[in-house]
C-alpha cells in the first residue's frame, strides 16, 4: 500500500476529506458513531492523523507555550521551587489544550534558539533581561508574561514581594540582637565573590529587591553586612560562601540567604566547622522550599506562594494569547492598561534562628 492520506481514509469510510479531518481536529462536529467508524478505519489503515505542522500552519497557532529559564533546562527539575511553579503552570494550561515547552535563555552549546521554537506565547521566568532569547521573543511579537522580572509598562508581570520579605527577614535578626550579619546573594552575572560596602545594584530584579529589603532592615540599625555573591542558588554556593563570609568577618553570628538551597549549604558548612545551629550561627532562607521544613534545625525562611504565582502567570498568558485580556481592557476604556501582580509573602520562624550566644 502506498502513502495513507486523509483521502485514503475518506474513500474507505465513504465520507469527505473534511469529515475525516473533523474526526481528528473537531470531534464535536460529528456524531460519536461516525467518529468511531472513521478512527477505526484510520487505525486499520495505519493512519495516525493530520500532520501536526501542517495543522498548526492551517490554524495559525501551534498549541504550545514556552517557559524561558535563565539556567539550563534540566536544572529546573532539581529545584523544588521551580518544579512547584512548573506544576502549577501545567495544571492551569491543561484545560486549554496548550502544551508546555521549556527553553533555556542560554542559547550556546547548540541549544535551539527561541527564534526557532514554534509557540503561541511565553512565560519569561527569572531570566537575564539581556538574554538574546528574550530579544527574539519580543521581535517575534509573541504574547509574553514576565515572572520574577523587572516590570515593564507593556508586558503583564507576576512577582512576589521580594523586598518586603527580605526586610522581614533582616528585621527578625536585628530584633534577636545580631549585629554582625552575612548575606549570601545569587546572580547569574557577576561580579561574584565578596562585595564591597555600597556595591551597586546587582543584576536581576529578584536579587536587587531582596538585597534592597535586607538593607532597609539593617541600615537603620547601623549594620553593614558582609555580602558574598554566588553564581547559582545551589547548596555548593552556600557552602563555599560561609567560608568567605567568616574570613571577611569572624564575628558573624547570622546569615541571610537568597534562597533556601543556599541556606542549606551554609548550614552544612557551619556544621562541618563545628558550629552549633542556631547557638553559634543563625541562618535565614527565602522561598519556603519544601526542603526548609525537612532540615535540622528546621529553617527560618520567607514563604512565597509559588503555586499561586504559577497559576496567575499561566492565566495571564492564556488571556494574552486569546486576546481576552486586551479585549476586556478596551471594553473598560483602558486599552493600554497591563496587569502587574505583586503577591504577598510571610516570614516563617523555625529553629534555625536564635539570639546570638556571644554579643560583640
* Enclosing H/E stretch for 182: strand 181-186
134 pLDDT above the threshold of 60: yes
Q: How confident is the model at residue 233 (pLDDT cuts 50, 70, 90)?
A: confident
Total Cβ atoms within 10 A of residue 205: 19
pLDDT in tens, 203-216: 789 999 999 999 99
Residue with cell 536581576: 204
CA distance 33 to 50: 20
Give residue 199's pLDDT. Answer: 63
pLDDT in tens, 20-33: 888 887 788 899 99
Cell numbers for 297, please give them.
534545625
DSSP state, residue 152: B
Q: Where in the chain is the domain with CATH 1.10.260.40?
A: 6-50
Cell numbers for 134, please give them.
528574550
Beta-strand relationship, 301-304 and 157-160: unpaired
- Of 243, 191, 252, 257, the C-alpha closest to 223 is 252
Give residue 73's pLDDT. Answer: 54
Residues in CB range of 176: below 8 A, 6 or more apart: 254, 282, 353, 354, 355, 356
Give residue 109's pLDDT. Answer: 46
Query: For the chain, what is the total number of helices (H) and then of strands (E)?
Result: 13, 13
Residue 256 Ramachandran class (φ > 0 left, ψ -120 to 50 alpha, else beta): beta
CA distance 244 to 266: 11
pLDDT in tens, 293-314: 999 999 999 999 999 999 999 9
More confident residue, 59 or 265: 265
Q: Classify domain 162-304 at the CATH topology level.
A: Rossmann fold (3.40.50)
More confident residue, 332 or 287: 287
Give residue 202's pLDDT. Answer: 81
Alpha carbon of residue 72 to chain centroid: 13
More confident residue, 188 or 51: 188
CB 233 within 8 A of CB 82: no
Provide the angle, in degrees to the nearest 10, between the axes of the packed helices 17-25 and 32-45: 100
- Of 269, 307, 300, the C-alpha closest to 284 is 300
Q: How confident is the model at residue 352 (pLDDT cuts 50, 70, 90)?
A: very high
Overall average pLDDT of the 190-197 stretch? 78
Computed over every residue of the chain, the mean pLDDT equals 86
142 pLDDT above the threshold of 80: yes
Phi, psi of 302 (to 5 degrees): -105, 125
336 pLDDT above the threshold of 70: no
164 pLDDT above the threshold of 60: yes
CA distance 296 to 286: 16
> What is the spatial order of strands in the sheet that 254-257 belongs to?
193-195, 226-230, 181-186, 254-257, 282-284
CATH of 64-160+306-344, one of 3.40.50.2300, 3.40.50.300, 2.170.190.11, 1.10.565.10: 3.40.50.2300
Give residue 63's pLDDT. Answer: 78
Alpha carbon of residue 110 to chain centroid: 23
Cell numbers for 28, please give them.
464535536
Q: What is the maximum span of the chain, computed from C-alpha positions, in angstroms?
A: 90
Give residue 174's pLDDT. Answer: 98
CATH of 6-50, one of 2.60.40.420, 3.40.630.40, 3.40.50.10540, 1.10.260.40: 1.10.260.40
Residue with cell 530579544: 135
CA distance 355 to 254: 9
pLDDT in tens, 252-264: 999 999 999 999 9
2 pLDDT above the threshold of 70: no
Q: Where in the chain is the domain with CATH 3.40.50.2300?
A: 64-160+306-344, 162-304
Q: How confident is the model at residue 110 (pLDDT cuts 50, 70, 90)?
A: very low
148 pLDDT above the threshold of 90: yes
- Predicted TM-score (pTM) of the model is 0.81
76 pLDDT above the threshold of 80: no
Give residue 1's pLDDT. Answer: 52
Amino acid at each position: 500500500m502506498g502513502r495513507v492520506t486523509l483521502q485514503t481514509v475518506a474513500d474507505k469510510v465513504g465520507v469527505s476529506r473534511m469529515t475525516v479531518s473533523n474526526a481528528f481536529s473537531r470531534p464535536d462536529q460529528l456524531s460519536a458513531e461516525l467518529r468511531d467508524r472513521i478512527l477505526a478505519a484510520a487505525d486499520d489503515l495505519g493512519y495516525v492523523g493530520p500532520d501536526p505542522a501542517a495543522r498548526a500552519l492551517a490554524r495559525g497557532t501551534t498549541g504550545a507555550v514556552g517557559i524561558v529559564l535563565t539556567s539550563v533546562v534540566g536544572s529546573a527539575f532539581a529545584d523544588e521551587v521551580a518544579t512547584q511553579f512548573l506544576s502549577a503552570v501545567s495544571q492551569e494550561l491543561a484545560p486549554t489544550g496548550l502544551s508546555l515547552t521549556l527553553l533555556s535563555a542560554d542559547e550556546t552549546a547548540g541549544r535551539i534558539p527561541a527564534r526557532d521554537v514554534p509557540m503561541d506565547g511565553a512565560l519569561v521566568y527569572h531570566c537575564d533581561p539581556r538574554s538574546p532569547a528574550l530579544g527574539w521573543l519580543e521581535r517575534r511579537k509573541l504574547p509574553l508574561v514576565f515572572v520574577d522580572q523587572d516590570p515593564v509598562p507593556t508586558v503583564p508581570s507576576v512577582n512576589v514581594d521580594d523586598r518586603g520579605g527580605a526586610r522581614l527577614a533582616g528585621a527578625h535578626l536585628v530584633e534577636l540582637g545580631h549585629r554582625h550579619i552575612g548575606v549570601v546573594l545569587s546572580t547569574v552575572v557577576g561580579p561574584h565573590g565578596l562585595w564591597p560596602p555600597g556595591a551597586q545594584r546587582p543584576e536581576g530584579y529578584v536579587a536587587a529587591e531582596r538585597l534592597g529589603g535586607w538593607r532597609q532592615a539593617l541600615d537603620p540599625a547601623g549594620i553593614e553586612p558582609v555580602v558574598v555573591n554566588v553564581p547559582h542558588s545551589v547548596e555548593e554556593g552556600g557552602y563555599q560562601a560561609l567560608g568567605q563570609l567568616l574570613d571577611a568577618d569572624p564575628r558573624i553570628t547570622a546569615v541571610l540567604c537568597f534562597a533556601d538551597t543556599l541556606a542549606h549549604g551554609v548550614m552544612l558548612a557551619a556544621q562541618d566547622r563545628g558550629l552549633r545551629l542556631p547557638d553559634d550561627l543563625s541562618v535565614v532562607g527565602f522561598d519556603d522550599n519544601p526542603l526548609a521544613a525537612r532540615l535540622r534545625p528546621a529553617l527560618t525562611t520567607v514563604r512565597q506562594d509559588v503555586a499561586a504565582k504559577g497559576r496567575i502567570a499561566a492565566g495571564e498568558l492564556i488571556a494574552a494569547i486569546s486576546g481576552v485580556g486586551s479585549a476586556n481592557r478596551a471594553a473598560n476604556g483602558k486599552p493600554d492598561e497591563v496587569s502587574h501582580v505583586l503577591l504577598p509573602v510571610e516570614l516563617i520562624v523555625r529553629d534555625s534562628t536564635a539570639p546570638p550566644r556571644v554579643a560583640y
